[in-house]
Amino acid sequence: MKKILSFFLVFAVLLSAGAAAGAESPDYYAIGLRVTGLLGEMVGSRDYLRLFLSSEDLLDLLSSTFDTGDYGAPSAVYRLIQQDPKEWMKSLMTDEELDSLNALSPALQEQVFLRVSGTALLTTQINAKKGAQVLSVVSALQALVKEPSLEEETPASYLFVFEKGVPVLVSYGWHQATGMFVALDAAETASPETLREALQPYGLEISPADIP
């Protein structure tokens, strides 16, 4: 009887260990590096870039600013968390704009708020402030990596900062991760404090993530 009980005890432990292993969270860092590495390969391939951009000025901008060869080892990684988009948007509106918003039906108000939801949309606003050329090249370059281990119902977003390369926002969703450049200056990403100050106007909070 003791041998039988011992067998079932060991079997139960093995099952528990297997279940725990299966429940481990995805390796966001490793997946993120696949995304940033793919973007680095994109900006280093003139043939690839010509499929999406015909302007030589834009191609030269990519070569001089984005093609740094430094997308494999980030100097820092941050989790980006969007504040309540509704309250953030209202805080930026004038009294007249608030009156116009409140005059809309609940369905139309929700459509307005959906336009400012998501970190990817907010980073597009950041890129737009760097000029039309930067926005054009960033919009043309987005990487997508399929990853079955990702089962995020609520997307997670991490910003990968590099010593030379342009920062990359990696968004993790359902079975995939996407990446796009965020044209932040070196002074803005110099420290958690400067990055927090740069992103606060967009309703984004940051939390430093561990680097293996």
pLDDT at 186: 92
d(CA 14, CA 212): 28
Q: Is residue 180 within 8 Å of 123, Cβ to Cβ?
A: yes
Tens of pLDDT, residue by residue over 166-210, are: 999 999 988 999 999 999 999 999 999 999 999 988 888 899 997
11: tokens are: 């079997």
| pLDDT > 80? residue 23 | no
d(CA 139, CA 181): 9
pLDDT at 83: 75
Domain definitions of the chain by residue range: 26-85+118-209
Task: Please give the order of strands across the beta sheet that includes 204-209.
Answer: 168-181, 142-161, 76-82, 204-209
Q: Which residue has the tokens 């704009």?
A: 97
pLDDT at 118: 65
| pLDDT > 70? residue 19 | no
* Backbone dihedral region for residue 69 (phi beyond 0: left; psi -120 to 50: alpha; all else: beta): left
Where residue 14 falls among pLDDT bands split at 50, 70, 90? Answer: very low
What distance lies between CA 76 and its chain's CA centroid?
A: 14
Tens of pLDDT, residue by residue over 43-84, are: 999 999 999 988 999 999 999 999 999 999 999 999 998 877
Q: Return all residues near 40 (Cβ < 8 A) that are at least 6 apart.
A: 69, 70, 71, 72, 165
Tens of pLDDT, residue by residue over 122-162, are: 788 888 888 999 999 898 889 999 988 888 776 789 999 99
